[in-house]
Amino acid sequence: MVLFKCFFYAHWQLLKLLLAAPRALLDHGWGCVPKRAVIFVVFFPLFWLLCILHFIGFALDALLFPGWRRQRVERPVFIVGVPRSGTTFLHRFLAQDARFSFTPMWEALLAPSIVEKIIWRGLLKLLSPLLRISHRLAPAFFSQMDGVHKLGLNEAEEDFLFLLPLNASFILVALFPNNQQLWRLTRFDWDMPAWEQRLIGQFYYACVAKHLYFKTRWCGLVAPIYLAKNPSFATWVETLAKQFGDAGFVICLREPEVVLPSQIRSLLPAFALLGSGRCPDYFNERCTVMLADYYRHLMAFKRRVANTPIVMNETLRHHLPSVLQTIYQSIHVTEDAALIAKATVYLSGVEPSKAPRDYRLEELNLSAQSIQLAFKDVWPVNV
């Protein structure tokens, strides 16, 4: 029944995106309309086809692997926080502990179903040359993105890509920067109807359960602990806590003066590929409101769930071993001594911190004073 609900929900959301496309053509101005029209003509058929293939995979899972429904997701760990606060680094460092299982990019993007995982794992070796070719065809885009967030088919990635079939992944905002149904995902715990929270939460739980089923049945892992990292889930934490009753959370934070301009700049390569190369005029304000909500909601969650550790970016960069020890203690997992030792060695080879990056705030229509004013109610946090 949930599968059917998700199928119809996904196509209803996709239809709404399709109806919004004519208006979205103008999101980067009249000069980009021809370019964006071509992108939309290519995007919608491919995205719709991928969505249908995913749901075919889900249907086959029910027929071929009914045992996945008995797969429990026990004590998962969610790394959340504001963007650009070290979540990716922490996620990929912790993922070296063999007791954790994480979602690589190929699985999150192409294989939410068990059937697709089996097929794509066999094809992954064939895809590696294609990825290298794509880097050569668009070197500027990938070099910019690697400076922001290293991309790789086997890298531990944000599994909110699982939610693309439901059109519930905020990554689509790069293509639809003014779309209301995407921006409401940034207010998930309080602005989404309860029935949508449940449906999306159930779908996400099923994707995680299928990942663990695949890892235990096909890859030989024994009772792995699921490890996820999604800054976009900063306003989903209450829903996740309900869906995963014994989950552990780690909150990463950094000063807004770095987070806001860094987050906006991280989207510029996508905007260059999909539009004019600059943020639409309204985007700064929406990002500011969104990030302020992140800080506010995460701290409210911390006050409610007292054992949730907060990791400041400065602490992460200079005291990694103690950060890892605190996390292990909070999630009630025996610390990995080898990983702690590796963290110590890693820090010994890191160059001393340089001066903060110059984000040229004026180029983004920002100023230090405007940022401080916008975040004065949420920063500094009281840890």
Q: Say if residue 148's pLDDT is above 50.
A: no
Secondary structure (DSSP) of 321-358: HHHHHHHHHHTT----HHHHHHHHHHHHTSPPP-SPP-
Distance CA 117, CA 57 (A): 9
pLDDT digits (tens, 9 = 90+) for 163-219: 999 989 999 999 999 999 999 999 999 999 999 999 999 999 999 999 999 999 888
Can you give the pLDDT at residue 194? 96
Across the range 84-105, mean pLDDT stands at 94
Candidates 348, 356, 357, 280; CA nearest to 319 is 348
Can you give the pLDDT at residue 230? 94
Average pLDDT, the chain: 89
Across the range 61-66, mean pLDDT stands at 96
List the alpha helices (DSSP H) in the chain: 2-24, 33-64, 87-94, 105-110, 114-137, 139-148, 180-183, 188-191, 194-218, 237-243, 256-274, 283-304, 313-318, 320-330, 337-348, 368-374
Across the range 43-70, mean pLDDT stands at 95
- Sorted by sequence, the CB contacts under 8 Å of residue 121 that are 6+ apart come out as 111, 218
Handedness of CA 96, 99, 104, 106 (dihedral sign): positive
Q: Say if residue 43's pLDDT is above 90.
A: yes
51 and 168 Cβ atoms separated by less than 8 Å: no
Can you give the pLDDT at residue 126? 74
Q: Say if residue 353's pLDDT is above 60.
A: no
Q: Say if residue 351's pLDDT is above 70.
A: no
Q: Say if residue 97's pLDDT is above 80.
A: yes
Can you give the pLDDT at residue 131? 59
Can you give the pLDDT at residue 81? 96
Q: Say if residue 136's pLDDT is above 90.
A: no
pLDDT digits (tens, 9 = 90+) for 241-270: 999 999 999 999 999 999 999 999 888 888
Distance CA 335, CA 325 (A): 6
Residue whose tokens read 């602005």: 191
Q: Say if residue 158's pLDDT is above 60.
A: yes
Q: Say if residue 357's pLDDT is above 70.
A: no
Can you give the pLDDT at residue 147? 46
Q: Say if residue 152's pLDDT is above 70.
A: no
Across the range 264-277, mean pLDDT stands at 87
Q: What percent of the chain has pLDDT over 90?
A: 70
Output 148 or 137, whichever has higher pLDDT. 137
53 and 112 Cβ atoms separated by less than 8 Å: no
Can you give the pLDDT at residue 279? 80
Q: Say if residue 289's pLDDT is above 80.
A: yes
Distance CA 103, CA 46 (A): 23
Provide the pLDDT confidence category of residue 3 given band limits of 50, 70 and 90: confident
